Homo-oligomer: A and B are copies of this chain.
């Protein structure tokens, strides 16, 4: 209504090209990685892939399949984005109606995606030695960090934790990206926090650590927060929350964060899913 009056003073959002895409993408493959996880590759245009960053996610419109009629979209971290091959990858765990329906997709089927969404991982210019600590599905979120680290010539150590060796995923992926890999498992008894702490302290004492990254484990988060404070090492963590819109409109996906001594509610889909390590709250 007041358009003519004000359009000079404000940069109209509508003038900008869309930075988030809603697209039907076609399935390249959708294959089980082990008994629990499935890897999904979609054919995607390069202008979409070029906007992707490690830590960002897509909101997937899982199709109805048999008894499963998922209604809301499902958030899924970018597991890999390969502009040259024109592929967008996800790694997901089959847990409920949405992921079960997702796991039924066949090569050539189409899947509606919305993204890339949210804020990805930061890698500051002076962060040379990166350490990521991942467990379970947290790996899916952290894996593309290895890709970015390689692209930017940083050294990355990936501490990968799992119940046992046969459910340890993405080791090849990390290896391919030139990451140094340390595996710990419940089966070996190596995954307990005391041991992980020892490993990290050794890294700090050795080549040094400029930044921590984690996702998916409360205990890891707490450990890294303690080590980060002790050694003054910054870090980031990716967090999850139930979502509706994925775009910042609905305020469903908030979590509390410590900011300047106060608790503030931030949207995981918008201000996150990647947050400052120290500001995050264990859940």
Which residues on A are within 8 Å of B, measured CB to CB? 64, 69
Contact = CB atoms under 8 A, between A and B. Distances in A.
A283 B43 CA distance: 55
Contacts of A64: 64, 69
The 3 closest A-B pairs by CB, nearest first: A64-B64, A64-B69, A69-B69
Q: What is the oligomeric copy number?
A: 2
A106 to B, nearest CB: 15
Contacts of A69: 64, 69
A108 to B, nearest CB: 16
Nearest to A63: B66
A64 B64 CA distance: 8
A69 B69 CA distance: 10
3 contacts: A64-B64, A64-B69, A69-B69
Nearest to A65: B64
A65 to B, nearest CB: 9
A107 to B, nearest CB: 19
A112 to B, nearest CB: 13
A33 to B, nearest CB: 29
A69 B64 CA distance: 10
A64 B68 CA distance: 11
A193 B69 CA distance: 50
A55 B48 CA distance: 59
A16 to B, nearest CB: 33
A64 to B, nearest CB: 6
A64 B69 CA distance: 10
A198 to B, nearest CB: 54
